[in-house]
Amino acid sequence: MFNLEYQKRLLRQQNISSGSSYQDENLSSPRREAFTSPRTLHSPTSFSAMVMPVSPVRGVQSDRFIPARDRNNWQTKFSMIHFTPQHISENKSVDDTSSIPTYSLSPLSAKSQKLLRSPRKATRKISRIPFKVLDAPELQDDFYLNLVDWSSQNVLSVGLGSCVYLWSACTSQVTRLCDLSGDANSVTSVAWNERGNLVAVGTHHGYVQVWDVSMNKQVNKMMGHSARVGALAWNSDILSSGSRDRLILQRDVRTPSIVPERKLVGHRQEVCGLKWSPDNTCLASGGNDNRLYVWNMHSLSPIQTYTEHLAAVKAIAWSPHQHGLLASGGGTADRCIRFWNTLTGQAMQCVDTGSQVCNLAWSKHSSELVSTHGYSQNQILVWKYPSLTQVAKLTGHSYRVLYLAMAPDGEAIVTGAGDETLRFWNVFSKARSQKVRTYVFLNHKTI
């Protein structure tokens, strides 16, 4: 009879020869198997069942002579090799492709396997806690209003009741721009021009004021609407205003108010969303009639009409990365964010968010966008486009997140809700050309 160690070695040779047609996925380095000591089998029963009896001498039916090796110690050579896991880890790196055998049957090349073993790039983490919270008393809980905007000069304008307040993000200084209480009026919309020196104020009585913030002076007052003005949008010196009277008026703020304005007629109910395209050639408008229109500067009729939404369209955002790409969101009965190719008029992707879509805004530096929601989630979502996978979900407001504005650097956003708070979030990545900028958390303030 052979000694037990010889039978173990013979069995291991049989296993290796019978299993050479595939590679064990659990073995990261097949070559190093030769430097380990022989395995100890845990089942003597299976061992005896698998090993066939072999004669130690050549018999009549034998074709070769296998001498008995009772005195051989198979452990001797292996015990002389001091190869610990620590040595393996110290000498092994991602760039080391020596562990990939030349006879590997893997369909992946050595470079591909090296790439798969390399560490994954860390995913961008978005803080789920606002870095600043401001009290905003009398911030109205009204879906059809637009009461928050952030200027290119880093100044936030907020309509609270009958007043408009300005908050400097650089100095945290708060100033009151105007007060309409003497006219028994209230603020229904605010919007900065591109230069950040003029702010337009829409009112419940239907007129629009234009204020120069450097002089703290009203420079224009435009009549024309017969109901509240809930949406405003600038195109250089042209100011577009949308009203509950279903009209969109376009006026040059440099000219006297007696100059005829462009009147865009199309919506059947209140206009609650207005946005100019990045190249200032097209105006998108959304209304309580569930319609989304696209207008140009040369016609008084819409060049595109979209009727797929099943509720009011307030949330509108043009992509700064892809020409003609428009995103829109529907109200409570719709809950969808839809994407449109306004160059061809074709509908593109659509995602059901599960709650009322109140606002949309694209990142300035990446193919992402943020949406704010009302009934019933009251949440803020960050999406990756075009995969439409959720990057982050932010909660904190106890009322509908009706108001949204983006910082001029494109990194931070501010959201407002009927809970009378403004919350500041860092949601988008930094531009590569910009220096790292940090926001200092300040105490809870009231504006």
Specify whether 277 is located in the same domain as 374.
Answer: yes
Dump pLDDT digits (tens) for 327-347.
Answer: 999 999 999 999 999 999 999
Written as six digits, the tokens of 26 are 């659990």
Can you give the pLDDT at residue 430? 78
Sign of the four-CA dihedral 344, 347, 349, 354:
positive
Specify whether 100 is located in the same domain as 150.
Answer: no
Return the beta strands (E) in 288-377 as ranges: 292-296, 304-306, 313-318, 325-330, 336-341, 346-352, 357-362, 368-373
CATH of the domain at 189: 2.130.10.10
Specify whether 267 is located in the same domain as 139.
Answer: yes
Helix or strand (DSSP H, E) at 241: strand 238-243
Residue 393 phi, psi (nearest 5): -130, 120
Give the DSSP letter of residue 264: E
SS3 182: helix
* Boundaries of domain holding 284: 132-446
Bridge partners of 370, per DSSP, are 361, 382
What's the CA gap between 331 and 109, in Å, rounded?
Answer: 51
Residue 190 phi, psi (nearest 5): -140, 150
Kind of pairing between the strands at 445-446 and 132-135: parallel
Specify whether 441 is located in the same domain as 349.
Answer: yes
Query: 26: exposed, middle or buried (C-beta count within 10 Å: 0-12, 13-18, 19+)?
Result: exposed
Specify whether 182 is located in the same domain as 237.
Answer: yes
Specify whether 164 is located in the same domain as 74.
Answer: no
Query: 429: exposed, middle or buried (C-beta count within 10 Å: 0-12, 13-18, 19+)?
Result: middle
Tell me, yes or no, whether 115 lies in a domain: no
Instruction: Identify the segments of the chain with pLDDT beneath 70.
Output: 1-106, 108, 115-116, 118-123, 257-260, 431-447
Total domains, the chain: 2
What's the CA gap between 206 and 180, in Å, rounded?
Answer: 13
Specify whether 365 is located in the same domain as 273.
Answer: yes
Q: Are 347 and 327 contacting, i.e. CB atoms less than 8 angstroms apart?
A: no
Written as six digits, the tokens of 312 are 């009011």
Domain boundary, last residue among 106, 123, 156 = 106
What's the CA gap between 146 and 173, in Å, rounded?
Answer: 22
Dump pLDDT digits (tens) for 15-61.
Answer: 544 444 443 332 333 333 333 333 333 333 333 333 344 444 444 45
Domain boundary, last residue among 63, 89, 106 = 106
Distance of CA 160 to the CA centre of its chain: 30
In sequence order, the 6+-apart residues with CB closer than 8 A to the CB of 336 are 309, 310, 329, 330, 350, 351, 352, 353, 357
What's the CA gap between 272 and 285, in Å, rounded?
Answer: 8
Specify whether 266 is located in the same domain as 391.
Answer: yes
Can you give the pLDDT at residue 32? 35
